[in-house]
Amino acid sequence: MQKTIGGLGEFALIRRVTSQFPRTDDVILGPGDDAAIVASPDGRTVATTDLLVEGRHFRREWSSARDVGHRAVAQNFADVVAMGARPTGLLIGFAAPADLPLAWAEEFTLGVRDECAIAGGAVVGGDMAGSDTLTIAITALGDLQGRAPVRRDGARPGDVVAYTGHLGLSAAGLALLTEGVDGPAACLDEHRRPSPPYASGPEAAHLGATAMLDVSDGLAQDLGHVCRGSEVGIDLDPALLAPEPALTEAVRILGGGAPRALAFMVSGGEDHALAATFPADTVLPDHWHRIGVVRAADPDDRYVTVAGKAPEQTGWDHFRQG
């Protein structure tokens, strides 16, 4: 008979799951007490939280439990590094139907463990509950290591806009899955297991980034937060938004040509690339791609444009899309 999480019991399940997580030097007291204790040498803690709801953020028929574990960590630690911080701790809220197979929960745990090993943080606690809908809530912590945080409100006219990581692959992967067609593994993999450039967040802070965020809801939509926070406008140059070969191949399969590839890059989201603004004279490493400029703007013009025009699509709407 297949074991389920409801049949095991909450505390037995928590012990079984948390035993999979190694600790790091940042964890003074890990899972097992009323609360964890995480070191904060900087004296400040970066904190963020996010939700994954089955049917809205992932589908079990498209993604394995390990995929979901990787994704849960990636989309949260991407926010931490986008502040210029180093990931330290992760807390997981896990609400699931009682008949969820125990094997699914254990595989999810392995995905979390493996992505934490990539990002550098550790699971320090969490909670479990019964729910009709499988829902995962993550709280991630980070350490600034003495650096000033890179916020969204520091961009200035004349700054350059650059990104690092992938743009458009995840959105193309989702389109391929939705249409039931096979496509480049790089697109499908990026949708199932985003690969944020974790080291590039602190790197950007060292390089003097004036504003930064991770691209979760679409490049144009997310950079729009920088525009409003910094009271500026941003113009992207489509000639500098060169699609990766996997994206070009996916669009060949899906149809739409170069305009659709550009739309995936500008409006797709969920690759969890990092986008940042830098002083114009900053010497950027090759993996940071310059794609536009920051311009002065009045209160009615704090928007992102592509070649001077508003993009046809901006990005993800959490209350309208599923």
> pLDDT by residue (tens digit) across 121-169?
999 988 889 999 999 999 999 999 999 999 999 999 999 999 999 999 9
Fold entry, domain 160-306:
Phosphoribosyl-aminoimidazole Synthetase; Chain A, domain 2 (3.90.650)
pLDDT at 322: 47
Tokens of 182: 């096979």
Highest mean pLDDT among 22-26, 122-126, 205-209: 205-209
Q: Are 50 and 75 in contact (CB under 8 A)?
A: yes
**pLDDT-based confidence at residue 16 (cuts at 50, 70, 90):** low
Poorest-confidence range of 30-34, 163-167, 190-194, 289-293?
30-34
pLDDT at 232: 97
Annotated ligand binding at 305? The verdict is no
pLDDT at 8: 61
Phi and psi (nearest 5°) for 249? Answer: -70, -40
Q: What does 237-280 look like in DSSP terms, one character per residue?
A: -GGG-PPPHHHHHHHHHH--HHHHHHHHHHH---S-EEEEEE-T
Annotated ligand binding at 18? The verdict is no
Annotated ligand binding at 67? The verdict is no
Annotated ligand binding at 99? The verdict is no
Mean pLDDT of 38-63: 94
Fold entry, domain 7-143:
60s Ribosomal Protein L30; Chain: A; (3.30.1330)
Q: Looking at the predicted structure, is the pLDDT value of residue 15 above 80?
A: no
pLDDT at 5: 74
Annotated ligand binding at 34? The verdict is yes
pLDDT at 188: 97
Mean pLDDT of 262-289: 97
Poorest-confidence range of 28-32, 158-162, 205-209?
28-32
Annotated ligand binding at 217? The verdict is yes
pLDDT tens-digit profile of 166-190?
999 999 999 999 999 999 999 999 9
pLDDT at 319: 38
Task: Determine the Cα–Cα distance for residues 249 and 280; give it in Å rounded to an integer.
Answer: 33
Annotated ligand binding at 127? The verdict is yes
Cα within 13 Å of Cα(132), Cβ side: 0
Which residues, listed in sequence order, are joined to residue 47 by a DSSP beta bridge? 141
Annotated ligand binding at 214? The verdict is yes
pLDDT at 315: 57
Task: Determine the Cα–Cα distance for residues 68 and 43; give it in Å rounded to an integer.
Answer: 32
Residue reference for tokens 């995962």: 136
Annotated ligand binding at 48? The verdict is yes
- Across the chain, mean pLDDT equals 92
Q: Are 165 and 275 in contact (CB under 8 A)?
A: no
Mean pLDDT of 257-278: 96
Annotated ligand binding at 316? The verdict is yes
**b/e map 281-320, b = 16+ CB within 10 Å:** ebebeeebbebbbbeebeeeebbbbbeeeebeebbbeeee
Annotated ligand binding at 23? The verdict is no
Residue 248 or 22, more confident: 248
End-to-end CA gap in the chain: 34
pLDDT at 143: 97
Domain spans in the chain, listed from the N-terminal domain onward? 7-143, 160-306
